Structure 1
């Protein structure tokens, strides 16, 4: 086959997929963004996320006091149940059981929570996408070997999905030992089968499109079609899932920290650690638990609202 013939076939493939790429590529995202701008749920979710990110980035500089200094320890009498957990001058969220400023710890703890959530999600996204793309490509290309590869990969993914996510994360964290890195890896591993299954299914759906059959009829190798067309057009649901997974990652990371599997230094503020420390003093100082709990709930809600709005905006059934 001459170079000119190959070029002509590739150009023809571009023409055949132009309509598909128009509805699945750039114009789809433009249409989705237009829908998101008028979606109240998306606006609220984006606002919550923006506040959380800004707080995580600049929080350490905005914190009025040190997060570890026991400045007001003399005012906290644990044995007598005396706590200053309500707002007062100089301590907007009151004090914790060691006389530390709760507001400063809340601000600085947001950074740790964001870091764990984002890194965990990226671990699940990258590894899951690689596995899902390999399985989806093997299934799409067909052949006995491709089917066997797809079957083996999906059975492993199914076994991971069969285990409760929190139980799997706790097991991994318990084996690897107590550290913040352990929490990131444990939560990230839980996300891997979700992304793998989603990308594989999306690639199989794209593989049945008319433009794939038309391209094959021109003699274009299916491997090129998979890499240049099927895979890029399959990423939309994965991106949406990444937003939703951030909410799950934050909750599961906080749960592991609450169980004592997070940062081994309890002086380092993190919302899950703060919640765990407040449990012992809930009767005398309930607000110690309320502040980090509300932070976790609202942040997870923001990512969930935005993710659900993106899912609706990208749903072809809702596009007119």
Structure 2
């Protein structure tokens, strides 16, 4: 019993020593969040899915066995009325209705999907953060004129929120004309209100913190307080939202392409366009619709899992 008690005491003393060292060093918010993410199975699954997606999108187009625009099946006489060849040794996912290798198109299409998702999210993040940052700084630190600026900007954001996101994206895409750039702009504009509202709310919350009061009492100018203290401390929820928005951006971009508002050149592989083209051949080759649909679903799931895990790790109210 004495030996066992001695071992327990040594273990407790060791743990206390390690805890004391951690307290002395201090751990930042992001370091603590990263520790929690490493222990979260959902975060690990999401990160693995996204890593595979990025590798396929970046490296895959250089390794595909066929050109995504090469009509092999028509040239070799494999495509006939009512007949689309399926999976074989040369074509891992078969051919599409134009005789093009489906596997090559799926891999190359991943790059287009990643490009649209990232660029559209960056557009929404940049514009939304600008509007939300100005509104949050004005509301929290700007006095009477600041409240007027905040109210004006937020009424504009409310007008955007009043429209369904997909309807707004379709309207913008229809006005600008069908193209890949149009899809990026349309999806990016749809996400602007989310980032603006989130950053504004976070900045207003931070504006009431003790460090802002201390900086103000020391004579630090309010614009400097907003830029150097309030904004950096308000970015964590915005970054988490950007990860979640990537998932919806990919789905909305695919929806616009499915509706014919994406790249007018359907020979360029993109998962939404591939899904739209496959609708006419569901009775012959349902796999032509299944493959891009699975790609969209799995990729969106990866971003969602990682984003939710990041939100849980960064938000004290949601930590386990």
Asked if these proteins are the same fold (TM beyond 0.5), I'd say: yes
Q: CA deviation at 1:218?
A: 3.1
* 1:267 partner SS: coil
**What is the total number of aligned residue pairs between the two structures?**
294
Q: Deviations over 1:142-179 (max 9, x none)?
A: 32211111000000001101111000000000000011
Partner residue in 1 for 2:144:
144
Gaps of 5+ in 1: 1-21
Corresponding residue of 2:229: 229
Q: Which residue of 2 aligns with 1:16?
A: none
Q: Structure 1 length as normaliser, TM-score?
A: 0.89
Question: What is residue 89 of structure 2 aligned with on the other side?
Answer: 89
| Residue 75 (structure 1) aligned to one of 69, 75, 78 | 78
SS in 1 for 2:263: coil
C-alpha displacement at 1:59, in angstroms? 1.4
Secondary structure in 1 matching 2:29: helix
Structure 1 match to 2:56 = 55
Q: 1:319: how far off?
A: 5.2
Q: Which runs of 5+ in 2 are unaligned?
A: 1-22
Aligned residue in 2 for 1:287 = 287
Residues 319 and 100 of structure 1, relative CA distance in 2, 3 Å threshold: closer
CA RMSD of aligned residues (A): 1.5
- Tell me which residue corresponds to 2:275: 275
- Equivalences for residues 242-257 of structure 1 within 5 A: 242-257=242-257
Question: Match for residue 5 of structure 1?
Answer: none
Correspondence for 1:216: 216
Superposition deviation, residue 215 in structure 1:
2.7
TM-score normalized with structure 2 length: 0.89
CA contact (8 A) 2:40 2:309 kept: yes
Post-superposition shift, 1:284? 1.0
Distance 2:191 2:318 in 1: 28
Q: Quick check: 1:102 aligned with 2:102?
A: yes
Q: Where do residues 172-187 of structure 1 align in structure 2 (5 Å cutoff)?
A: 172-187=172-187
SS of aligned partner of 2:28? helix
